[in-house]
Amino acid sequence: MSDSALVLDNVCKRYPGFDLQNVSFELPRGYIMGFVGPNGSGKTTTIRMIMSLARPDSGRITVLSQQMAENEIRLKQRIGYVPENHEFYSDMTVAWTAQFVGRHYPTWSPERLRELLEKYDVNPRKKVGALSKGTKAKLAMALALAHQPELLILDEPTSGLDPIVRRELLSDLLEFVADGDRSVLFSTHITSDLERVADYITLIVDGRIAASDERETLLERARASNPTASIEDLLWACAKGGR
């Protein structure tokens, strides 16, 4: 088994008015990587390419030791994915939604789903459209975890959530990687969340990787000149051109 859950090697993607250039980073198995950058920096574009929702113009993406482009269906069955916008059928119930999603995963566990819905206080009989934003986020996390994935990819999962819900979801990320085999790529604007859970940090600015390393290594470098430097300070410095 490879020691890397995810490897991007010089990945490029061009859109009108925006270029993602030579994006390279590596997420080892058993760890959480925070993926952070300003709005429009390329986080969601990168995640969409990892999930094969967009195709890179060049470069190589290796997921769980395989090429996504060559093994898309099987790899997606091993990944839990929570996009920024939770697009559910609003007129359908939580239970119907779970049954619909579960059909796509050979490892789907109805028992695990029930545990998660109970833990998150999500009523399976409620229609999805009647759920609050925080409850929809918890439903999305439950659906992503119920098939027991090896890699969890989260795009702004805690954005707009109250502190109690955020803390609950962050605690579940730590539990998810506790066995040392599963990994998380966690895109967020909320750098305080990364201070709590991230082992690695990758900073992206204007479509380019500004830094990627262990969290404490990055902070140690920054604190050589600023003893109180935080991840937010690192991001600010990179965004202002201090790479």
Q: What is the pLDDT of residues 185-218, one digit of tens each?
A: 999 888 888 988 999 999 999 999 999 999 999 9
Tens of pLDDT, residue by residue over 39-48, are: 889 999 999 9
Answer for the pair 154, 86: CB distance below 8 angstroms, yes or no. Answer: no
State the Cα angle at 28 between 170 and 148, rounded to 5°: 55
Band the pLDDT of 106: cuts 50, 70, 90. very high
Q: Read off the pLDDT band of 2 (50, 70, 90).
A: low
* β-bridge mates for residue 153, sequence order: 81, 185
pLDDT value at residue 71: 85
pLDDT at 241: 72
Q: What is the number of residues in the chain? A: 243
Extract the tokens encoding 173. Answer: 């990320």
Cα separation, 59 vs 208, in Å, equals: 14
In this predicted structure, what is the pLDDT of residue 78?
96
Q: Are 218 and 234 in contact (CB under 8 A)?
A: yes
Q: What tokens appear for 214 in the block?
A: 């262990």
Instruction: Identify whether the C-beta of residue 38 lies closer than 8 Å to the C-beta of residue 219.
Output: no
Helices and strands, number each (H, E), in the chain = 9, 10
Does residue 43 contact residue 155 with C-beta atoms inside 8 Å?
Answer: yes
Q: What CA–CA distance (Å, rounded) separates 77 from 52?
A: 13
pLDDT bin (cut points 50, 70, 90) of residue 165 is confident
For residue 39, the model assigns a pLDDT of 87
Q: What sections of 33-181 are H helices per DSSP?
A: 43-50, 72-76, 94-102, 110-120, 133-145, 163-176
Please tell me the distance from the alpha carbon of residue 140 to that of residue 34, in angstroms, as a whole number: 19
Q: Would you say residue 177 has pLDDT above 80?
A: yes
Reading phi first (left if > 0) and then psi (alpha if -120 to 50, else beta), residue 236 is in: alpha
Amino acid at 195: E
